[in-house]
Chain A
Amino acid sequence: MTESLLTDEARAMIGVTSEPGVHRVDRSQIRLFAEAIGDPNPLYVDEEYARTTRWGGIIAPPTFVYNLKPGAFPEIPLKTTRLLNGGDEFEYFGVVRPDDVIVVIAKWTDLYERTGRLGQMVFTIWETTYTNQHGKLVAKHKATRIRY
């Protein structure tokens, strides 16, 4: 029988949180992101246009928050070498604007093993909160990453 990749040491990481990552959102960072994804929406780059919308100014595209990383976040110790992205889920309660200061905290929430096409795999799940300078939770993110 194959030995499990999930050691007690790995399981002990569930519930562990990161240090907060603190980021001032830069207008040019939003622009670079919009250009990289090939989205010409003026809401992300044109202040004059954006002022005419309900937001009253430039906002970031929905998945932009993922670029704002948590502080030190200990990795789950696993004897694997490769990584694939399994999926992502975002929930939004507000928007991110240029010059916002966003506090990003991540937490390991789940860990499970599966055997599939790639052999033994461990699914690692973490959840992240994004809170702005007004203390408002603007977004939550849940990431599933596959280590094998």
Chain B
Amino acid sequence: MATAPRWDDLVEGEELPPLVKPALTTQQLVMFAGASYDFYQIHYDKDFAQANGLQNVIAHGLLKMAFLGQFITDWIGPNGMVRKLGCQYRGMDYPGDVITVRGTIVRKYEANGERLVDLDIWTENQRGEKTTPGRATVALAD
């Protein structure tokens, strides 16, 4: 893992190092269904998904949100803390899609004795679709 970010070095507007996830697989969606107790069939049963108007099974929203979580925890390191994490689901991601998580620094400030950073974060697939835009607030360790 990379070195934790230093507060003094952070610049508002700066882009964070992207996280490129391996291509989504149906197997991963099945694993996530089991790990998260979300057994809605649109995530692993293609016939069911197509009968519901989808072209294929789709990734769980919470899986993509977990990718956002991985992106920010990778960046802050083990001694930082996520204070807020939120996102919207604006589009579908399917098996075979390669998700890249990106983000930028919106603001850095101190509050309640913590050094906080607000981030704009989002997932992007290989079609360039930003399917999961979100925001986060993290507390840095240093």
Contacts and interface: CB of A to CB of B under 8 A. Distances in A.
B61 A38 contact: no
Contact of B37 (A39, A69, A87, A92): A69
Interface in A37-93: 37-39, 41, 43, 50, 53-55, 61-63, 66-67, 69, 82-92
Interface string A89-120: 11110010000000000000000000000000
Contacts of B84: 89-92
B32 A37 contact: yes
A39 B70 contact: yes
B82 A41 contact: no
A36 interface: yes
Do most interface residues of chain B lie in helix, strand or loop, or is the interface mixed? mixed
Given A36-B36, A38-B22, A67-B37, A88 B78 contact: no
B85 A41 contact: no
Count class of interface residues, chain A: 20 to 34
Contact of A62 (B36, B73, B79): B73
Nearest to B137: A91
Contact of B66 (A37, A43, A50): A37
Contact of A37 (B1, B53, B70, B74): B70
A90 B68 CA distance: 12
B56 to A, nearest CB: 15
B50 interface: no
A84 B70 contact: no
Nearest to A39: B70
Contacts of B63: 36-37
Contacts of B69: 37, 39, 61-63
Contacts of A142: 86
Nearest to B78: A53
A41 B70 contact: yes
B61 A85 contact: yes
A29 B131 CA distance: 28
A39 B66 contact: yes
B78 A63 contact: no
Contacts of A41: 1, 70, 73-74, 78
Contacts of A53: 78-79
A32 B37 CA distance: 12
Contacts of B32: 36-37
Question: Nearest 7 A-B pairs (CB), nearest first?
Answer: A89-B86, A85-B61, A36-B35, A87-B88, A36-B31, A53-B78, A37-B66
6 contacts: A36-B28, A43-B78, A54-B79, A66-B62, A88-B62, A92-B84
